[in-house]
A and B are shown apart, each in its own frame.
Chain A
């Protein structure tokens, strides 16, 4: 067991090292959400109500970029390059490998959220989170769900050239529908119904409660349940469809 932990740690260290050496990946993960935050912050400047929506919204989006988007792209690339197949031939237990990847994604999420929440508190008058425990629970559930869904999506992507198209075809509608940029309650009913089925809507709700309103956890248990249901689906699909090498032909 200690051996598996040591291997997880090695994998985590390698992932961190590689992440910082690949500027485009780092850019997509860190700069894009911040750019959105700055743009919408400028648009909504003066309206605290809107700023109170945009900060948890971007926070939720950050969870999705650092896990779902990053893992879907990365898994397709590693599979196509044959890295996964090569790793499979070593004694590295797959659990240690995936745990290393997950810890790496969680670190990125934590860094990203610290920046978003920090900017929200310092520049946008949103204040520091009211409910740290609730924040941690929702971020944890969100990371697990979106990481699993990202790995699951990677199974459906035929090759790396098409990966951005597949990922964005899901990511962009989801962030718009889920109320990252506006209060989802103000959307037309049919959009609201779709949004209610999406995990990001509920993650943003939970983060909004934890960061802005300080609403009690009990009011948001249903949000957590929806995220965890998606997470369960994601884990099942991620594990069942997992392949170590690209399909032939």
Chain B
């Protein structure tokens, strides 16, 4: 049971009338994993997450969340899942502490209210009414309300969009703390650095399809990616070349240099960064779409 994935998605499709928001997505999220759906706006990330959260009915495909089909919204599943929506208000005339306490009462086995307030960084505003909270505080309240039911799985839909850098760092700390508690986290983001900083694995999504899946550090290694070899010529010119097979290129380079008894200066071999892969994949979605199988 423990080895079963927290989330399993097979060939998920979701259409709104003529608009095919999600066009055949497959992925799995292991228990305890922080998994990111990374992609530009309108890629289908939120639609995918809202199908998993039970807010939307899928058009076709197989979806399993903690062993349940989320479309019927079983209460047993809602007990075990915490949701941070992209944007959602709350009751305005109650304080942070009152809200977290009320939310705790909705669950059978909630976490301690004090602990949750502290963990979410709401200590200094726990007696402030929700309508007076700053944007960052309101987001931390979202985290607190999603965490207080002590869920196994937490959905975070664009948790830091619109944040200033300091607030983003603070939110990242909170998300890391969730992972440290052993929670499974599925987050969506259109920030590369966020995916890189938080996720064990990332799926790059565009136009309702997954273009690539892997650990952020490994994503550059796939079939579509190339090695980048750069060096300085004898005339001092910096040259870069991309190749699928750096071995041959390096051999040519170094043997030519050795034959003339000179060194190859500033030689470097780099794999594309997540940013390179992301930009390549999302800029040419049509071309990359053909390689969506891997």
Q: A77-133: which have CB < 8 Å to B? A: 81-83, 85-86, 88-93
Q: Do residues A91 and B79 form an inter-chain contact, with CB atoms below 8 A? A: yes
Size of chain A's interface in residues, with CB distance under 8 A?
A: 20
Q: Do A83 and B85 form a contact, CB below 8 Å, given A7-B106, A89-B78?
A: no
B155 CB → nearest A CB, Å: 9
Q: Which residue of B lies closest to A97 (CB)?
A: B106
Q: Do A86 and B85 form a contact, CB below 8 Å, given A18-B93, A91-B78?
A: yes
Q: Taking the complex as formed, is A17 at the interface, i.e. its CB lies under 8 A from any CB of chain B?
A: yes
Q: Taking the complex as formed, is A47 at the interface, i.e. its CB lies under 8 A from any CB of chain B?
A: no
Q: Do residues B145 and A86 form an inter-chain contact, with CB atoms below 8 A? A: yes
Q: Taking the complex as formed, is B219 at the interface, i.e. its CB lies under 8 A from any CB of chain A?
A: no
Q: Do residues B93 and A90 form an inter-chain contact, with CB atoms below 8 A? A: no
Q: Do residues A92 and B106 form an inter-chain contact, with CB atoms below 8 A? A: yes
Q: Do residues A91 and B107 form an inter-chain contact, with CB atoms below 8 A? A: yes
Q: Do A90 and B88 form a contact, CB below 8 Å, given A14-B94, A18-B93?
A: no
Q: Do residues A85 and B55 form an inter-chain contact, with CB atoms below 8 A? A: yes
Q: Do residues B91 and A85 form an inter-chain contact, with CB atoms below 8 A? A: no
Q: B97-148: which have CB < 8 Å to A? A: 98, 102-103, 105-108, 129, 145
Partner of B89, one of A10, A14, A21, A81: A81
B241 CB → nearest A CB, Å: 47
Q: A1-28: which have CB < 8 Å to B? A: 7, 10, 14, 17-18, 21-22
Besides A17-B98, A86-B85, 13 new A-B residue pairs in contact (Cβ under 8 A), listed by A number? A7-B105, A10-B106, A81-B88, A81-B90, A82-B85, A83-B90, A86-B83, A89-B54, A89-B55, A89-B81, A90-B149, A91-B106, A91-B108
List residues of chain B with CB under 8 Å of any chain A CB: 53-55, 73, 75, 78-79, 81, 83, 85, 87-94, 98, 102-103, 105-108, 129, 145, 149
